[in-house]
Amino acid sequence: MKGRPDLSVKVAGVRFSNPVLVASGTFGYGEEYNALIDLSKLGGIITKSVTLKPREGNPPPRTVETPAGMLNAIGLTNVGVDRFIKQKLPFLRRLNTRTIVNVAGSTVDDYLKVVKRLNRCKGIDMLEINISCPNVKEGGLAFGARPESAYECIKQIRDHTSYPVIAKLSPNVTDIVQVACAAEEAGADAVSLINTLVGMAIDVEERKPVLANITGGLSGPAIKPVALAMVWKVAGAVRLPVIGIGGIFNVQDALEFILAGACMIQIGCANFVDPQTTVKIVDGLNRYLKERKIKRITDLVGGLRTG
């Protein structure tokens, strides 16, 4: 095959040079990784959750490694929307990659206030609505836990912004498909899944939980099969673009999510292990398509052969 395969993806009218994004909370505001990777090679950067007021977050210890993964209970530490706009967005705006701002709140009104301030900014391509943080009461899981409240939150945001809206879904629910469908009905432009799974670790010497927050969110290779199954189910149930997240560490993992129906993927925990993971996956996708003479990455999305 002559030329490079086409890795570009279009979601809600926004064109991404490739389907590889970095997951919220694992990549700061982008600048933290600027010395280590060429950020323009990313399809896009999803910021750390932005809330109305700055948040200090949970007491330490906040992280612990567990088999094939890690628990975190950071607690949405962030600079707040005003400082985000002033201090963090200008850097992101200068980059030759897409910027998706992740928004969290404790009430619908909070979300709306953040969204309204972001509405006036340049350099934002999309919003990702966090209705799934397991680590703070105000982290949105109050909305993401049930289809009705997810609908209400997403609908309100939809009515108050012209940015494309991604609803980030929690796996800590009875049926993620129902929440995905509610988000679709509410006017979301895409869904991303999964956020972390609630987990726990115990220090048996001290008879204490390892994390000060007692429970945390599990990420890493340990959750990949769970995430993959949920992506596959949701992709079969909604017409919306699905963005896959959960333990993606290499191109093989990325391809699995794409075949299961994800049109884009997010890399989270793997950034910690190897900051080059995203770039390696982009290269790997190019190679995979080229070797198999597949012209476009979009030709692979949902290409799983079942039965």
Catalytic residue IDs: 133
CB closer to another protein, 78 vs 161: 78
Half-sphere exposure of 227 (CA within 13 A, CB side): 32
Other C-beta atoms within 10 Å of 54: how many? 15
Q: Is 269 in the site for another protein (CB under 8 A)?
A: yes
Binding-site member from 19, 43, 69, 144 for another protein (CB under 8 A): 69
Specify the stretch interacting with another protein by CB under 8 A; choose among 87-95, 114-122, 273-281, 283-291. Answer: 273-281
| Interacting residues of 175 by C-beta distance below 8 A, sequence separation 6+ | none
| Interacting residues of 281 by C-beta distance below 8 A, sequence separation 6+ | 20, 248, 250, 251, 254, 265, 267
Smallest distance from another protein to CB 25, Å: 7
Binding-site member from 21, 70, 176, 230 for another protein (CB under 8 A): 70
Reduced to 3 states (helix: H, G, I; strand: E, B; else coil), residue 253 is helix
- By CB atoms closer than 10 A (0-12, 13-18, 19+), residue 80 is middle
Specify the stretch interacting with another protein by CB under 8 A; choose among 31-39, 147-155, 227-235, 256-264. Answer: 31-39
Residue with the two structure tokens 């939809």: 158
Binding-site member from 2, 3, 4, 35 for another protein (CB under 8 A): 35
Size of the site for another protein (CB under 8 A): 34
Beta bridge partners of 217: 72, 198
Q: Is 199 in the site for another protein (CB under 8 A)?
A: no
Binding-site member from 8, 57, 187, 229 for another protein (CB under 8 A): 57
Interacting residue ranges for another protein, rule: CB under 8 A: 25-28, 32-33, 35-36, 48, 56-57, 59-65, 67-70, 72, 74, 77, 220-221, 269, 271-276
